[in-house]
Structure 1
């Protein structure tokens, strides 16, 4: 294994070496970029407390095909096309002492190749670094790409590294990530979204609802936002009659209403006893969300589309949400999520993280007040493990770290790869 000084001599900036013979590049018929690239000593001078260093990083661009094209209100209003796939950026890293971690970020419809490209630029900056210094490393990667900003694609690429580092830290401690963070509970209320999209006819939504509840899921979220609001109300009436009054029910308009429509629909939806109305307005309309939240009995939830803690702070400061819905891969990873969670708790907000239940289960379990976590079965083919759900709750696994490992199917869906450094 090369020490840091040796690697600095052998691989200067921009140099590329052939992959080591014991680790041939993964092909699967795709164009694969595999590099062994290392960097000079980090600016940080390690002291006696530095017991380990990052020696190897592997990036994978994985495209998950969806069995059925997915449509929400953005498709019905012509803003987007149906979603047919989800692009993932996976980061696997290892240290000189043999510890490993895995993390991921994702993009829907566009942006996946961009995340991979930016991550490929950043990865060499972590070689030789102490994996425990997660906060400092997040800042280092952020400044490495400062010219492209502190939100959006840039920090979503950083998120995959950050999540992998947290996974590694928890694995090294022998603890599930929730326990490392300090869990308030060992299970979290969960609701299903994937059965209530607008491309599904009402009869199919009802069948999906029955199946979800039978599987142990505790609540259901139904998409709304038809150009004709009466169609939403008819659909929701059928769902409520089908599941009964006691099952928690949410709706999601995916930013498709203007302020007057949101006000009218919000009043009409009061009779359904909803847990929340999600994204009734444009994600950045903090004032509109605040006015709506103040006028309705039904809680307003939003935040999933925001891409930084600073953007969420605008919502919080305006009183724009009763329930905040951050997405760790979108806002820069677990390090940033924890900052936002502290702000949300300080302002007595409820928490319902968006998507990526494999990550958010742990983060929700560590939130002081009772949260919700969103169940999506879309990602299941990517991992060898499954989340345990019963009695309306998703249970924190006993496995160390996030408790996930990449499946052979994920490897088969890989479109590009890049390796940096050398595995011990």
Structure 2
């Protein structure tokens, strides 16, 4: 048997600015640390081989920073030309080292993420399998919860209305934002939503890193009576020791990790016992290749998984996780893609389409503000 190796012929990178229907605020806005979110900046990578196989991947930035990963991605894209797209691990390291003077975390690896996700998408498409199946799926559908309907910029009446429509859409849980300067306002909001939902609906709260250790302990104890699925980001994202102490003191599970930008940062989080639910974000940690390292360590420690945002990618990864897993439903990115993910009975179903099962919409093309392409020769 002759082994035929296909090679990467063309790599295109595009920068997209996705406007949101209305400004969005969480606790970071109410505490004065950030401005309301009005758009999501995305970097898309499309890889085409000599045989005509394609792969699509993306990364993103919220608020400031979007042009940075795009500029970095443009510079390192030529490193992929002529390479075997099957060598995902080797190519991830090659791309990281190509820009290592910028570091091996943060912006530098977020630029690599779009390429790495595209390579995994291509690999699964070539196999004719959904990415979850290629990785070794443990389930065909993953419990999902809604976040986009629970922001602090929405009055509580609107949050209740959004929560009422979620089950009809096939969504199983509801997450609301907390972390306001007035802790009593947070408590009233949680009490109102929990009372409206009843005890049977999984409910989470997210403080977006706005509490100190003492405040988190005090509020965490107060929230115990609401039987929350978890308390998310109660402390600064890099306070692993504080999260570990809080997790040990509460019955309610603690979830964190979404802001970390590398597998190494997650290693410290996991090894210190800082989370019951680990929340890696594939575009932020550098793609699927490092995300799989985080998954393996989390599984080794017997932790649960709840990836942050980017459900189009994370559905496949959560489906391939051996332990308990949730996927976060955000409708923000849906206008960018032609396909829709199926929700049924509180779960998000893995599509039967090869790869990630997504393709760009005409609207994504209209929101593209810059694009470059490199090819052999």
TM-score, normalisation: structure 2 = 0.99
Q: Name the structure 1 match of 2:322.
A: 368
Paired residues for 1:338-357 under 5 Å: 338-357=292-311
What is the total number of aligned residue pairs between the two structures? Answer: 376
Whether contact under 8 Å (1:50, 1:130) holds in the other structure is no
Q: CA deviation at 1:370?
A: 2.4
CA distance in 1, matches of 2:239, 2:107: 21
Q: Name the structure 1 match of 2:217.
A: 263
Q: Name the structure 1 match of 2:6.
A: 52
Q: CA deviation at 1:51?
A: 1.1
Q: Name the structure 2 match of 1:232.
A: 186
Alignment partner of 1:274: what SS?
A: coil
CA distance in 2, matches of 1:310, 1:115: 20
Alignment partner of 2:134: what SS?
A: helix
CA distance in 2, matches of 1:382, 1:120: 21
Q: Out of 179, 186, 191, which is 2:140 matched to? A: 186
Q: Name the structure 1 match of 2:21.
A: 67
Alignment partner of 2:205: what SS?
A: strand
Give 5+ residue unaligned stretches, structure 2: none
CA distance in 1, matches of 2:22, 2:92: 36
Greater C-alpha radius of gyration: 1
1:383 aligns with 2:337: yes
Q: CA deviation at 1:422?
A: 5.6
Q: Name the structure 2 match of 1:209.
A: 163
CA distance in 2, matches of 1:128, 1:309: 28
Q: Out of 266, 289, 299, which is 2:253 matched to? A: 299
When the two chains are superposed, the root-mean-square deviation of aligned CA atoms in Å is 1.0
Which 4+ stretches in 1 moved above 6 angstroms?
Answer: none
Whether contact under 8 Å (1:70, 1:199) holds in the other structure is yes
Q: CA deviation at 1:216?
A: 1.1
Q: Name the structure 2 match of 1:421.
A: 375
Q: Name the structure 2 match of 1:397.
A: 351
Paired residues for 1:100-249 under 5 Å: 100-249=54-203
Alignment partner of 1:418: what SS?
A: strand
Q: Name the structure 2 match of 1:30.
A: none
1:250 aligns with 2:204: yes
CA distance in 1, matches of 2:287, 2:176: 27
Q: Name the structure 2 match of 1:273.
A: 227
Q: CA deviation at 1:49?
A: 4.6
Give 5+ residue unaligned stretches, structure 1: 1-47
